[in-house]
Structure 1
Amino acid sequence: MTLQFFVRSPTHQTLTVTLEPTQSLTLRHLKSSLFPNLRSVSSFYFALNGKPLSDSTLLPNSQITHLSTLFLLPRISGGGGDGGATGAESRDCYLKMYADKKPDKIDPNEKRLGKWLNCALSYEPLREPCVIDKLGNIFNKEALVEALLGKKLPKEFRHIRGLKDMINIKLSMIPGKESEAADGATFQCPITGLEFNGKYKFFALRNCGHVVSAKALKEVKSSTCLVCHKEFVESDKMVINGSEEEVSALRERMEEEKVKAGKEKKKRGIDVVDGKKDCGKLEGNEKLENGKKSSNGGVKKFRAVDVAPANATKEVYASIFTSSKKSDFKETYSCRSLPLGRN
Structure 2
Amino acid sequence: MQWANLLDIQFQAAEIQPGAAVIHIWDLILNMGCDGGTIPKRHELVKGPKKVEKADKNAELLARWNYCALSQEKLHRPIVACDLGRLYNKDSILEYLLDKSAERPNIEVVAHIRSIKDIKELNLTDNPEWQGDRRNAKGDCYEDLHRARFICPVVGLEMNGKHKFCFLQTCGCVFSERALREVKTEICHKCGDPFQERDIVILNGNKEDLESLQDRMEVKRAKAKLDKKSKKSKATENHPKLNESEENPGPSRNVQEASKAVSVNNDKCNDSAVPGPSNSSSKIARSAAGGSMKRPLTVNKDKSEVYKSIFTSHTSAKRTKDQSSHWITHTPYHF
Normalised by the size of structure 2, how large is the TM-score? 0.53
Q: Is the 8 A contact 1:120 1:138 kept in 2?
A: yes
Distance 1:254 1:291, change over 3 A: farther
Deviation, 1:163, is: 1.4
Given candidates 201, 218, 228, the residue that maps to 1:255 is 218
Q: Is the 8 A contact 1:305 1:315 kept in 2?
A: no
Q: Secondary structure at the match of 2:232?
A: coil
Residue 309 (1) aligns with residue 253 (2): yes
Q: Is the 8 A contact 2:69 2:86 kept in 1?
A: yes
Deviation, 1:165, is: 0.8
Q: Deviations over 1:190-242 (max 9, x none)?
A: 22222212221111122222211111122223332222333332222211112
Q: Deviations over 1:64-113 (max 9, x none)?
A: xxxxxxxxxxxxxxxxxxxxxxxxxxxxxxxxxxxxx9865223443333
Q: Deviations over 1:3-42 (max 9, x none)?
A: 899xxxxxxxxxxxx9645445989xxxxxxxxxxxxxxx
Q: Distance in 2 between matches of 1:210 and 1:25?
A: 82
Structure exhibiting the larger radius of gyration computed from Cα positions: 2
Q: Is the 8 A contact 2:66 2:74 kept in 1?
A: yes
Q: Distance in 2 between matches of 1:309 and 1:105?
A: 83
Q: Is the 8 A contact 1:172 1:190 kept in 2?
A: yes
Question: Structure 2 counterpart of 1:289, which letter?
Answer: P
Given candidates 88, 95, 113, the residue that maps to 1:160 is 113
Given candidates 106, 111, 130, the residue that maps to 1:176 is 130
- 2:91 corresponding residue in structure 1: 142
- 1:289 corresponding residue in structure 2: 240
Q: Secondary structure at the match of 1:212?
A: strand
Q: If each structure's helix is expressed as a fraction of its own residues, which one has the higher value?
A: 2
Q: Distance in 2 between matches of 1:242 and 1:223?
A: 22
Distance 1:129 1:4, change over 3 A: farther
Q: Is the 8 A contact 1:117 1:185 kept in 2?
A: no
- 1:1-343 superposed matches below 5 A: 20=17, 22-23=19-20, 105-151=54-100, 152=102, 154-174=107-127, 175-179=129-133, 183-186=145-148, 187-269=150-232, 289-291=240-242, 303=247, 305=249, 309=253, 311-312=255-256
Deviation, 1:302, is: 5.4
Q: Distance in 1 between matches of 2:71 and 2:248?
A: 62
Deviation, 1:301, is: 10
Distance 1:314 1:240, change over 3 A: farther
**Displaced runs of 4+ in structure 1, greater than 6 A?**
1-5, 314-317
Q: Secondary structure at the match of 1:203?
A: strand
Q: Is the 8 A contact 2:130 2:147 kept in 1?
A: no
Q: Distance in 1 between matches of 2:51 and 2:246?
A: 73
Q: Deviations over 1:107-133 (max 9, x none)?
A: 344333322232211222322211110
Q: Deviations over 1:238-273 (max 9, x none)?
A: 1111233322222222222222222332233279xx
Question: Structure 2 counterpart of 1:312, which letter?
Answer: Q
Q: Secondary structure at the match of 2:215?
A: helix
Q: Is the 8 A contact 2:69 2:109 kept in 1?
A: no
Q: Is the 8 A contact 1:202 1:239 kept in 2?
A: yes
Question: Structure 1 counterpart of 2:255, which letter?
Answer: N
Q: Is the 8 A contact 1:206 1:237 kept in 2?
A: yes
Structure 1 gaps, min length 5: 6-17, 28-55, 59-100, 272-278, 293-299, 318-331, 335-343
Identity, in percent, stands at 32
Distance 1:307 1:134, change over 3 A: farther
Question: Structure 1 counterpart of 2:54, which letter?
Answer: K
Question: Structure 1 counterpart of 2:83, which letter?
Answer: K
Q: Is the 8 A contact 2:70 2:109 kept in 1?
A: no
Question: Structure 1 counterpart of 2:240, which letter?
Answer: E
Deviation, 1:164, is: 0.8
Deviation, 1:161, is: 1.4
Distance 1:139 1:234, change over 3 A: same
Q: Distance in 1 between matches of 2:132 and 2:198?
A: 32
Normalised by the size of structure 1, how large is the TM-score? 0.51
Structure 2 gaps, min length 5: 1-8, 29-49, 137-142, 262-327, 331-335
- 1:13 corresponding residue in structure 2: none
Question: Structure 2 counterpart of 1:178, which letter?
Answer: G
Distance 1:120 1:156, change over 3 A: closer
Q: Distance in 1 between matches of 2:88 and 2:248?
A: 58
Q: Distance in 1 between matches of 2:97 and 2:51?
A: 32
Deviation, 1:312, is: 3.2
Deviation, 1:168, is: 0.7
